[in-house]
Amino acid sequence: MADTALIKWGKRFNQAYNYGSEITLESHQVTFSSPMMPVGTTIKAWHSKGSYGEDRAAPLLPLLKPGKTYEVIFFIQENPKNQFRVNIDFRDQFGQITATQYFEELHFTFQYPHNAAHYSINLNNIKHEKLVFYDIILMEKVENDSVEVERGEGLTFIKCQTPSEKFQLRVHSSDRESIMVSDNTANLLLFVSQKTDFQAVLSAIIDKLETQDGLIEIKTGVDFAKFSIEFQSLPEILHTYFPDKKIQTDIKNTTDLLTAYEIQMLLLALQK
């Protein structure tokens, strides 16, 4: 699986349209409303270069490779009363715009120019009643790789269909404002908030592993050590649920694991 980034709205209000806007930041989403804003106005901008002024804003977009093709997916709640346009500005080392690409859809691909030093992605208003924004997936497109993205509340799966003798799941925390991972071995990436209900996460993981034959590897990703005891006990839980499957993990042994009884109760609750 190629380079993949999960990008949130961000906590800095000065990078969004604030004049008369109502903006609500929640754990899994951001709600934005400013129905009277002019057509073509930028609702929100994301940048690959940080600001070194008073706000000291860190960049939310990853650095990209010149000449490579990237796929972008905006995860926004569907609403027939909403219409948006996206543009990407490519800039040189002096901050001057050298090229701009426009997109009418919220799922598109683009090629990163050889002469670009940094770039910004801008979500622009055509019309809207209320925007409910979840996140953005940005990933490099690799020849012969078939990638599927599936999103639920508080979790995102990115599955690579490349044939492999083993199936590797890597679990990342999605609680940072921006996460960039480079992983050539994982068949399935899971980005999940530490606040997401573990039962829902476990049910989704079991569903993904149910049909997998051969070796299954459970790997730790970004901020995995911050997850709850249930996540730390994930290999033991899956061993109990799939007694005939071969499961390996790099999760380090710890005294803070669920007991066999607690795992049984957890799996019983899952069946209700």
- Single out the residue in 97, 115, 142 at which a domain terminates: 142
C-alpha–C-alpha distance, residues 141 and 161, integer Å: 13
What is the span of the domain harbouring residue 89? 1-142
Residues 133 and 176 reside in one and the same domain: no
Q: Are residues 101 and 7 in the same domain?
A: yes
Q: Tokens 């996206």 identify what position?
A: 86
Q: Of 120, 142, 164, at which residue does a domain stop?
A: 142
Say yes or no: 121 and 156 in one domain.
no
Judgement on whether residues 84 and 134 belong to the same structural domain of the protein: yes
148 and 135, same domain (yes or no)? no
119 and 170: one domain? Answer: no
Same domain? For 112 and 167 the reply is no
3-state helix, strand, coil in the chain (%, to 5): 15, 40, 45
Q: What is the DSSP string of 169-227?
A: EEEEE--SSEEEE--SS-SEEEEE-TTS-HHHHHHHHHHHHTT--SEEEEEE-TTGGGS
Nearest alpha carbon to residue 248 among 222, 223, 220, 224 = 220
Each residue's pLDDT tens digit in the chain (272 positions)? 678 999 999 887 667 887 888 999 988 899 999 988 999 999 999 999 987 665 567 899 999 999 999 999 999 999 999 999 999 999 999 999 999 999 999 999 999 999 999 999 999 999 999 999 999 999 999 876 778 999 988 899 999 876 677 899 999 999 999 999 987 788 999 999 999 999 999 999 999 999 898 899 999 999 999 999 999 999 999 999 999 999 999 998 666 789 999 999 999 998 87
pTM, entire model: 0.89
**The tokens of 105 are what?**
């859809």
Tokens encoding 73: 């997916």
The pLDDT value recorded for residue 213 is: 86
Residue 183: CATH number of its domain: 3.40.50
224 and 98 within one domain = no
Q: Residue 53 has what pLDDT?
A: 60
Q: Say if strands 166-173 and 131-140 run parallel, antiparallel, or are unpaired.
A: unpaired
19 & 43 share domain: yes
CA distance 75 to 232: 29
- Which residue(s) pair with 73 in the sheet? 107, 137
CATH number of the domain that residue 33 is part of: 2.60.120
Number of domains in the chain: 2
Beta strands 247-249 and 215-220, pairing class: parallel
64 & 24 share domain: yes
Contacts of 203 (CB under 8 A, 6+ apart): 270
Q: Check whether residue 3 and residue 130 sit in a common domain.
A: yes
Of 92, 125, 142, the domain-final residue: 142
User: Which pLDDT tens digit goes with each residue over 75-116?
Assistant: 999 999 999 999 999 999 999 999 999 999 999 999 999 999
Grouping H, G, I as helix, E, B as strand and the rest as coil, residue 128 is coil
Tokens of 19: 């004049």
User: Within this chain, do residues 3 and 138 fall inside the same structural domain, yes or no?
Assistant: yes
